[in-house]
Amino acid sequence: VKKLAVAITRDYRDKNPILLGILKGSFIFLSDLVRQLDFPLEVEFVRVSSYGSGQETSGKVKMVQGLKLNVKGRHVLVVEDIVDTGVTLSFLMDYLKKKKPASLKLCALTDKPSRRRVPVKIDYLGLTVPDKFLVGCGLDCDEKYRNLPDICCLEE
């Protein structure tokens, strides 16, 4: 998180960005990240879902909680816990581009490129992870294990 914060500080120090967390998974990572950033910023959340219950995506993306802030002309950094198939993030990034931000970038705690269905550009990445179901640091399975202090692999 500290290394990501250094890079984000370099790029956003004078831009008063909006850090846009994707609920629910990103809130722990976003909380850790913003405490490492010592410049003016705003925090906003959206909730987008493509998961039913369990470990598999439904493939259908829906906006559960939309934006409350106007992002037009603002620098927006989307903060996500994991990039998996890319379907949800592709949907969200397209949605945000229509709002005409000055810039739009993505910061992800983890990336699972082996599962990618659609391309996603990650501008700031914590870890590349294998195709295992992960929990902890905000990552969950049916709302469980999100509060674990480390990223762990869920055994079957």
pLDDT tens column, 3-55: 999 999 999 999 999 999 999 999 999 999 999 999 999 999 999 987 555 55
Catalytic residue, from 81, 84, 111, 140: name it.
84
For the packed helices 2-12 and 27-34, what is the interaxial angle rounded to 10 degrees? Answer: 70
Does the pLDDT value for residue 58 go beyond 70? no
- Find the CATH number of the domain harbouring 59: 3.40.50.2020
Q: 20: domain range?
A: 2-153
pTM exceeds cut of 0.95? no
Contact 78, 93 (CB under 8 A): yes
pLDDT at 8: 99
When pLDDT is averaged across residues 101-118 and rounded to a whole number, the result is 97
Angle at 51 between CA 81 and CA 21, to 5 degrees: 30
The total number of structural domains that make up the chain: 1
* The pLDDT of residue 66 is above 90: no
Is 84 designated active site? yes
Q: How far apart are alpha carbons 19 and 148 in whole angstroms?
A: 23
CB within 8 Å of 93: residues ≥ 6 apart: 78, 104, 106, 120
What's the rounded Cα separation, in Å, for the pair 24 and 140? 9
Task: Kindly state the average pLDDT of the residues 52-73.
Answer: 77
